[in-house]
Amino acid sequence: MLDSPLSNYFRLTQKQIVILNKIGLKTVRDLLWHFPRYYEGFAGRKAIADLIPDERASIHARVIKTEAKKTFRKRINIAKVLVSDGTGALEITWFNQPYMAAILKPNQDYTFTGTIKRSKEGKFSMMNPVFEQGEVDFNSRTGESGMLVCVYPETRGLTSRWLRFAIKRIFEKISDSDLIEIIPEEILKKYKLPSLKTSLHEIHFPRDLKRAEAARKRFSFEEIFLIQLIRQGYRKKRDEHPSFLIKIEKEKNDDLIETLPFELTGAQKKALGRIFEDFNPTGGLKPMSRLLEGDVGSGKTIVAALASYAAVLNGFQVAYMAPTEVLARQHFEEFMRLFGKQNIKMGLATSSEFLKYPSKAFAGKPTHIARAPLLKWLANGEIEILIGTHALIQEKIKFKNLALVIVDEQHRFGINQRLKLTQKNSEKVPHLLSMTATPIPRTLALTIYGDLDLTLLDEMPPGRKKVITEIIDPERREHAYEHVRKEINSGRQAYVICPRIEESGNGTSALALSMKNVKTEHKKLSMEIFPEFSVGMLHGKMLPKEKEKIMKEFREGKINILVATSVIEVGVNVPNATVILIEGAERFGLAQLHQLRGRVIRSTHQPYCFLFTESVTQKTKTRMIALTEAKNGFELAEFDLELRGPGELTGDKQWGISDVGMEALKNIKMVEAAREEARNIIENDLLEKYPEIIKRINSQSQSLHFE
């Protein structure tokens, strides 16, 4: 029954089917696992005449009049309903829910619960209340009209009220045989988790909040447990294949480190030590599976370069995959500078160009080449390090002896893309070094990267200064512009970041007009604000050659101010840029904002970040203040998880984990317990004992993308 379509149990119009599909509700299982976002409790019942401002209360009243309209200034869709209980009248308003005017029927009685507000004229009102038709039995604590009412994730045309009705109908038809438990009984007992049947009932029809929270905890554990099983399974399969023995030539390695213009930090040395242990272990030679997580500017690239050098000294090849062409080209140039005297042959492969270094014709310089010769030199082992984008996973790109795969900003790639790159050899599996500067909580790292060993670069290179971050009110915009002018006159450069490339198609809406875009800002800044400076523009719709030209001119100092989208977020390295202005800062996740301001901490000069926001809500203020106060990205990530709760941690719902699964990430003990139980099952080959788990893993593996 759980896999049956909802249309078997409800008379659904085509429009309703489209709406349900929009939020992933196709089957009975989808509906039952569509959990409440929160619960509304009915308050003490009062007569309208006895209401007190700012208190939460329940009233039983009759609908007198309903109306759907738009507010005068901001043109927001609202529903207004006038109700009366005989002792007085009350106006009730729903924002962005105009359909409520059609749902509530005149001359019908309802129970409404919400916070009471009083206008300057002394009139009482209630905003967005929870309601039930008829009179609520306050002595009952179960069922549709109980003391706790579920409020579900909704979409236009789909209300919590309909969802409560639908789930109640399904529960009337479902049998115990349909609800097959997938968490092993011994694990349920060990962690005192309620059964599947009990949990489903308590999460949708809670007798009290304590039982509802216990049910959510059970489903949180279940989701993390399944993800860990999938990840531990990946790791076990990799470990079953032999890898390459990479011996560490300490003298040559130390000589290269001596040529660096800086000293390695303690964290970098520790990370290299772990990597070298994986290359040349004392036990069986398993492929390295390591995630190097470091804050912006902590020096991950040099660690990757030194690991690459060790592989090349052993006669092996290295593949280095970056998420953008700009970043791939930047890494290629960094490796040229680092290995210029080592006679290491390198290539660059992107969708728009192929380069070889060094070339015979131009010693010490890269040269453009055709795709065919690059493939030939790669296949016969002549090219030792190949740097590129997604182009590296193409089937025609073949290596002779690929021993090390490096994936930069690895969350930007799907797991299948990473697997393709590590499967380029027919016999041995290459070592895998994944890297990310995206700050994420430890619980999330343990979950989505459950198959990787985690190494943190938690130390910044000496001399780096903390970014001075300011939230700029509209009336202080000139202050920020003057600071940019001062920095440029001192020989520095600046970024200006906008949420959009250009005005949206609906250019007349208030939202479109208020949202800054690259093209308009570039014109305004170059002609009106900073006519004395060179202002460049960079965004994702530009051709690769255009992007590279702009970045080259910015790196060379020919462009003073670069107006861009978040395309510069990942890894772009221009040490002379010391100030960044971020327009519409509330439209970015905290981790993304941290990445963006990381562009200006590439030198020993004092960096500055100015945040402009279009929102004045308390939530926005709290988030922006957190950005100014956080000591590092990891602390910021933990704060973001706590502040924003489950859901979109980095601005996009990108981890393939549901809201209830994300709740587990606030509980390190739960994540570690789920990880330990999954590891025990996988390592001891116990999975065959649990056919229902295997079935769920097979279906869930298709939907989890971890990007």
Cα gap 363→287, rounded to integer Å = 36
Q: Is residue 680 part of a domain?
A: no
> Per-residue b/e over 484-514, b at no fewer than 16 CB within 10 Å?
bbebbeeebbbbbbbbbbebeeeeeeeeeee
Confidence of residue 672 (pLDDT cuts 50, 70, 90): confident
pLDDT at 566 over 90: no
Q: Is residue 650 part of a domain?
A: no
- 470 or 409, which is more confident? 470
400 and 339 in a single domain? The answer is yes
CATH number of the domain enclosing 508: 3.40.50.300
> Per-residue b/e over 47-66, b at no fewer than 16 CB within 10 Å?
ebeebeeeeebbbbbebeeb
pLDDT for the residue numbered 707: 36
Q: Is residue 415 classed as helix, strand or coil in its secondary structure? A: helix
pLDDT at 260 over 80: yes
483 and 418 in a single domain? The answer is no
Cβ 582 vs Cβ 599: under 8 Å: no
pTM over 0.75: no
- pLDDT (average), residues 648-661: 54
Q: Which of 367, 436, 378 is nearest to 402 (CA)?
A: 378
Torsion of CA 277, 280, 284, 289, to 10 degrees: 60
Q: Which of 468, 471, 467 is nearest to 479 (CA)?
A: 471
394 and 526 in a single domain? The answer is no
The residue from 436, 460, 478 where one domain ends is 436
- pLDDT (average), residues 143-169: 75
480 and 418 in a single domain? The answer is no
pLDDT above 90 as % of the chain:
22
182-191, 305-314, 613-622: least confidently modelled range = 613-622
Cα gap 175→410, rounded to integer Å = 44
617 and 480 in a single domain? The answer is yes
pLDDT at 541 over 50: yes
User: Number of structural domains, the chain?
Assistant: 3
- pLDDT (average), residues 6-17: 85
Cα gap 399→378, rounded to integer Å = 6
pLDDT at 139 over 70: no
428 and 475 in a single domain? The answer is no
421-430 residue pLDDT tens: 666 666 788 9
pLDDT at 281 over 50: yes
Task: Provide the mean pLDDT of the chain.
Answer: 82
- The DSSP call for residue 123 is -
> Per-residue b/e over 231-241, b at no fewer than 16 CB within 10 Å?
bbbbbeebbee
pLDDT for the residue numbered 127: 86
Q: Is residue 486 part of a domain?
A: yes
CATH number of the domain enclosing 119: 2.40.50.140
Confidence of residue 560 (pLDDT cuts 50, 70, 90): very high
Q: Is residue 271 part of a domain?
A: yes
Torsion of CA 653, 657, 658, 659, to 10 degrees: -70
Q: Is residue 3 part of a domain?
A: no
The residue from 631, 654, 685 where one domain ends is 631
416 and 479 in a single domain? The answer is no
pLDDT at 143 over 60: no
- pLDDT (average), residues 663-673: 82
Domain containing 489 equals: 468-631
Partners of 564 in beta bridges:
497, 538
Cα gap 189→511, rounded to integer Å = 52
493 and 424 in a single domain? The answer is no
- pLDDT (average), residues 15-30: 87
State the Rg of the chain over Cα.
Answer: 29
Cα gap 610→581, rounded to integer Å = 5
pLDDT at 552 over 60: yes
498 and 624 in a single domain? The answer is yes
- The DSSP call for residue 527 is I
pLDDT for the residue numbered 208: 82
362 and 404 in a single domain? The answer is yes
- Amino acid present at 455: T
* Measured CA angle at 688 (ends 682, 692), to 5 deg: 100
Q: Which of 667, 686, 666 is nearest to 677 (CA)?
A: 686
Residue linked to tokens 């470091």: 294
Q: Is residue 236 part of a domain?
A: no
Q: Is residue 105 part of a domain?
A: yes
Q: Is residue 674 part of a domain?
A: no
571-581 residue pLDDT tens: 677 889 999 99
617 and 496 in a single domain? The answer is yes
248's CB contacts (< 8 A; 6+ apart) are 276, 279, 280, 310
pLDDT for the residue numbered 200: 92
The helix (H) or strand (E) run that includes residue 545 is: helix 544-555
103-117, 118-132, 353-367, 468-482: least confidently modelled range = 353-367
276 and 416 in a single domain? The answer is yes
Q: Is residue 112 classed as helix, strand or coil in its secondary structure? A: strand
Confidence of residue 7 (pLDDT cuts 50, 70, 90): confident
The residue from 631, 650, 676 where one domain ends is 631
- pLDDT (average), residues 630-655: 58
pLDDT at 284 over 50: yes
Q: Is residue 59 classed as helix, strand or coil in its secondary structure? A: strand
Cα gap 380→246, rounded to integer Å = 20
Cβ 224 vs Cβ 193: under 8 Å: no
pLDDT for the residue numbered 308: 95
